[in-house]
């Protein structure tokens, strides 16, 4: 049972704290009183160092679309391992993954690879600045886009620092965020086109880009309303700013990502997670004319872009193999399973007679322990009592062998079967009933 101070995970965490600041290298995997340490992972399941088996609905925060250790990806990586891991040369593997991804995105696309979604967002913002010659960006209040200073503004901000609903504050996430960074980010409320108009209207001279995640987990995983999208598209066009889609997560929604479903062609797209087949990756893709900022003209690009491990062949072959396996049939099956899971989870709330709701799309889902209508970050923000109950539910699920993120979000992988879905729905039903008691 978790927690158990006598467990191997607890002991490893105590040891880790002697060398690793806060014990782990990712804020997102901390757990109180200690995180689990894994022994192995295969398909939809992971086993911790104490021998506990869990169904993994986190899938390394949505990056493992085939679950763990998909045979074809492992074989491709092994074959490449024997030929070299990373070198200061081009590789055919890079060209192949680039062709696959550009072929799936709409229009005449170019791409550059990097090593994380954070980098992808950063390079997309820098590309927009280089293209427009402007400095500011707009982003949706509370949306997570990785760990670039500008992308972090207004992240994790609580009610005390929100500011007016129609004029969210550019509040810092990290201590020491320079005032200049805060001055250059304009938060807009998700799904509020009127507010976006008001906030951005006067920025025709200095706004480089509007950054949107069409299905942001921290914004509640609520859908992007078509009217808001249309307003933002219109604004970007009118102001001469670029539209950047952060599809680091959303690209798992379909063959052409969220933009395919929405019928929109952003100027730039930040990619990551699934496109690396389980290995570290990021990429920025976009219209050829915009991506020309990366091209050398007269010896130097407007936006020079280096990176020792960019497009390393190991990641490239893993990504290509993973994405080839994600054909239209695979997306259909996965998204239908997502629909079915959300149905079963809603049924669990009804059967438990518990307050709550389920959001998400495709293979993504998030549980909420309240019933207020949700259209933006402030609606999704967990009140103190909801956070306490979510922590209890999370622990109940963990002890039932089910692993989600600590705030109740998760995703499916192609390694999952129908019985995995019902196991989660049963676990949630049991957890909600336990909460009532
Ligand atoms: C929407 C979104 N953008 C960007 C990132 C950053 O990606 P990475 O963790 O690979 O840096 C994440 C990570 O969770 C994300 O969810």
Atom of ligand 1 nearest to the CA of 117: 7
Q: Rounded to the nearest whole angstrom, what is the distance from the C-alpha of residue 138 to the centroid of ligand 1?
A: 18
Q: What percent of the chain is predicted at pLDDT more than 70? A: 100
321 and 332 in a single domain? The answer is: no
Which CATH number goes with the domain that contains 252? 3.40.640.10
Determine the structural domain holding residue 427 and report its residue range: 8-65+327-436
Rounded Cα distance, 365 and 409, in Å: 6
**Domain shared by 76 and 40, yes or no:** no
Q: What is the pLDDT of residue 191?
A: 98
Residues 179 and 245 in one domain: yes
Q: What is the pLDDT of residues 272-317, one digit of tens each?
A: 999 999 999 999 999 999 999 999 998 899 999 999 999 999 999 9
Report how far ligand 1's centroid is from the alpha carbon of 146 (Å): 5
Q: What is the mean pLDDT of residues 364-382?
A: 97
Instruction: Find the 217 Cα to ligand 1 centroid distance in Å.
Output: 11
Q: Residues lining ligand 1, judged by CB closer than 6 Å?
A: 61, 116-118, 121, 144-146, 213, 246, 248-249, 272, 282
Read off the pLDDT band of 124 (50, 70, 90). very high
CA 270 – CA 121 distance, rounded (Å)? 5
306-328 pLDDT tens trace: 999 999 999 999 999 999 999 99
The domain boundary residue, chosen from 325, 355, 383: 325
Beta bridge mates, 415: none
Residue 352 CA, ligand 1 centroid: distance in Å: 34
- pLDDT band of 254, cuts 50, 70, 90: very high
Nearest atom (ligand 1) to Cα of 281: 10
Please check whether residue 1 lies inside any domain of the structure.
no
Task: Note the pTM of the prediction, 2 decimals.
Answer: 0.98
Q: Please report the pLDDT score of residue 83 as a whole number.
A: 97
Span 170-174, average pLDDT? 97
Kindly give the distance from the C-alpha atom of residue 353 to the centroid of ligand 1, in angstroms, as a whole number: 35
Looking at ligand 1, which atom is closest to the CA of residue 61?
14
The pLDDT of residue 161: 95
């Amino acid at each position: 049972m978790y927690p158990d101070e006598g467990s191997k995970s607890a002991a490893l965490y105590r040891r880790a704290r002697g060398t690793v600041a806060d014990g782990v290298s990712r804020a997102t995997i901390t757990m109180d009183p200690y995180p689990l340490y894994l022994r192995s992972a295969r398909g939809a399941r992971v086993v911790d160092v104490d021998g506990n088996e869990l169904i993994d609905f986190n899938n390394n925060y949505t990056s493992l679309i085939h679950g763990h250790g998909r045979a074809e990806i492992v074989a491709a990586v092994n074959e490449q391992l024997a030929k070299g891991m990373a070198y200061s040369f081009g590789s055919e593997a890079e060209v192949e993954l680039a062709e696959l991804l550009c072929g799936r995105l709409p229009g005449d696309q170019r791409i550059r690879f990097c090593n994380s979604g954070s980098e992808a967002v950063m390079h997309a913002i820098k590309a927009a600045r280089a293209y427009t010659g402007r400095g500011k960006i707009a982003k949706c209040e509370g949306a997570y886009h990785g760990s670039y200073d500008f992308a972090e503004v207004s992240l994790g901000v609580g009610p005390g620092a929100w500011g007016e609903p129609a004029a969210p504050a550019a509040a810092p996430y990290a201590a020491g965020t320079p005032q200049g960074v805060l001055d250059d980010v304009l938060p807009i409320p998700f799904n509020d086109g009127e507010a976006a108009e008001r906030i951005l209207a006067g920025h025709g001279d200095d706004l480089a880009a509007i950054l949107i995640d069409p299905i942001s987990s921290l914004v509640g995983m609520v859908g992007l309303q078509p009217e808001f999208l249309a307003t933002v598209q219109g604004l970007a066009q009118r102001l001469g700013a670029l539209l950047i889609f952060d599809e680091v997560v959303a690209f798992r929604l379909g063959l052409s990502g969220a933009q395919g479903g929405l019928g929109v062609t952003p100027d730039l797209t930040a990619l990551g997670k699934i496109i690396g087949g389980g290995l570290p990756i990021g990429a920025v893709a976009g219209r050829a004319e915009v991506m020309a900022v990366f091209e050398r003209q007269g010896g130097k690009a407007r936006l020079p872009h280096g990176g020792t491990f960019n497009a390393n062949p190991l990641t490239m072959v893993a990504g290509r193999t993973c994405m080839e396996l994600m054909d239209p049939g695979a997306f259909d099956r996965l998204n239908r399973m997502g629909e079915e899971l959300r149905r079963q989870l809603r049924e669990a709330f009804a059967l438990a007679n518990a307050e709550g709701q389920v959001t998400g799309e495709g293979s993504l889902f998030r549980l909420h322990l309240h019933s207020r209508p949700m259209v933006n970050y402030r609606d999704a923000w967990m009140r103190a009592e909801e956070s306490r109950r979510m922590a209890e539910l999370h622990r109940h699920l963990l002890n039932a062998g089910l692993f989600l993120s600590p705030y109740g979000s998760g995703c499916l992988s192609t390694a999952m079967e129908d019985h995995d879905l019902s196991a989660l729905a049963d676990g949630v039903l049991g957890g909600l009933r336990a909460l009532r008691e």
